[in-house]
Amino acid sequence: MSTRAFFEMNAGDEEFLKRHFDIPGTIIRPGSFDLKEIPSPEKCEVLSVFIHSRLDREALLLLPGLRFIATRSTGYDHIDMDYCRSKGIVVSNVPVYGDNTVAEHTFALILALSRKVVQAHNRAHTGDFSLTGLQGFDLRCRTLGVVGTGHIGTHVIRIARGFMMRVLAYDTKPDKRLADALDFEYVDALDDLLAKSDIVSLHSPLLPQTRHMINTQNIARMKRGALLINTARGGLIDTDALLSALTSGQIGGAGLDVFEGETLIKEEKQLLSNEYNLEELRTLTKNLVLFRHENVIITPHVAFNSVEAFERILLTTIQNINAFEAGKPINVV
């Protein structure tokens, strides 16, 4: 009998899966992909992971019978797609599950920075109710620069218009009709958006051509003191450039749900048990400096993490697996 293996599943996911899925022959584990958890790896035909399991060539070589990967995410940069194509392994994703969910978290970060919510909370928590240094700013009439007007970026724009913000957007494939419908304006170049925005929010995919799309050169073009929000992928921002800009005041604050090297530090205990190379240690050190910065708000890649989004993710994953096993794969990437 062939095996299906699910990794990175919490107790709630497991319950949901059991209610909706034909379970025999299915392994369900809470941690990231680990070969030791699959009793007969050669029989594993279907693998489902979230984003913290690195399915690189070395990992996939260990599953010679693998035919299908159902990633429970939109992005698939954690999977070696070239290797999958060369071996005929089909990969499906969850193209849409939380446009509003991630967009709402984007605004949680924006508002936390614009109204200094974390500093205010920390102060009040100690019994200090003074207002010094806690003045924020209105979003109304400020300019939000949205990079990437796909599923999530579009929803961010909808919310921003509700706040009566002016919205500028940059996308390699602008959608004029969308701009008319939601009353925002596209610019022709990223630099133009950076120069005119009070808050810049990233919603494009991580691709070789978008890696470090925010870097030393173009951060210098941003309005001094502007806010930078990233709920897309950590690799879009050059962390060195961000750190210098935060230190110099060129960037006034950053709200980050994602950051470079986040998979290295999912759990604190991993810091002690893992062996790191020099590059990874450098990344970890940079992150520690970033996390301590008083104008930075970090959330640990939770923008998608709502009850409703999880149910949509699991339902689509179940449909993806059923469709593959019926010989008609859907949501193939």
105 tagged catalytic: no
Indicate which single residue of 8, 13, 45, 171 sits in contact with ligand NAD (rule: CB under 6 A): 171
Of the two residues 4 and 155, which places its CB atom closer to ligand NAD in the complex? 155
312 tagged catalytic: no
Cα 47 to chain centroid distance, Å, stands at 21
Beta pairing partners, 168: 145, 185
Whole-angstrom distance, CA of residue 228 vs CA of residue 214: 10
Q: Which of 8, 45, 233, 260 is catalytic?
A: 233
Using the rule CB under 6 A, give the single segment among 11-19, 28-36, 203-211, 259-267 that binds ligand NAD: 203-211
58-97 binders of ligand NAD (CB under 6 A): 74-75
Indicate which single residue of 92, 231, 239, 331 sits in contact with ligand NAD (rule: CB under 6 A): 231
Number of residues that bind ligand NAD (CB under 6 A): 28
Using the rule CB under 6 A, give the single segment among 58-66, 116-124, 157-165, 227-235 that binds ligand NAD: 227-235
Structure tokens at 312: 């949509």
Shortest reach from residue 42's CB to ligand NAD, in Å? 32
Residue 107 makes contact with ligand NAD by CB under 6 A: no
Residue 41 makes contact with ligand NAD by CB under 6 A: no
Contact characters 143-162, ligand NAD, x per CB under 6 A: ----xxxxxxx---------
Indicate which single residue of 130, 132, 135, 172 sits in contact with ligand NAD (rule: CB under 6 A): 172
Characterize 258-270 residue by residue with b for buried, 16 or more Cβ atoms within 10 angstroms of its Cβ, and e for exposed: bbbbbeebeeeee
Shortest reach from residue 75's CB to ligand NAD, in Å? 3
Residue 48 makes contact with ligand NAD by CB under 6 A: no
Residue 193 makes contact with ligand NAD by CB under 6 A: no
Q: Which of 105, 155, 203, 301 is catalytic?
A: 301
Residue 301 makes contact with ligand NAD by CB under 6 A: yes
78 tagged catalytic: no
| Site residues (vs ligand NAD, CB under 6 A) | 74-75, 102, 147-153, 170-173, 203-206, 209-210, 231-233, 257-258, 301, 303-304
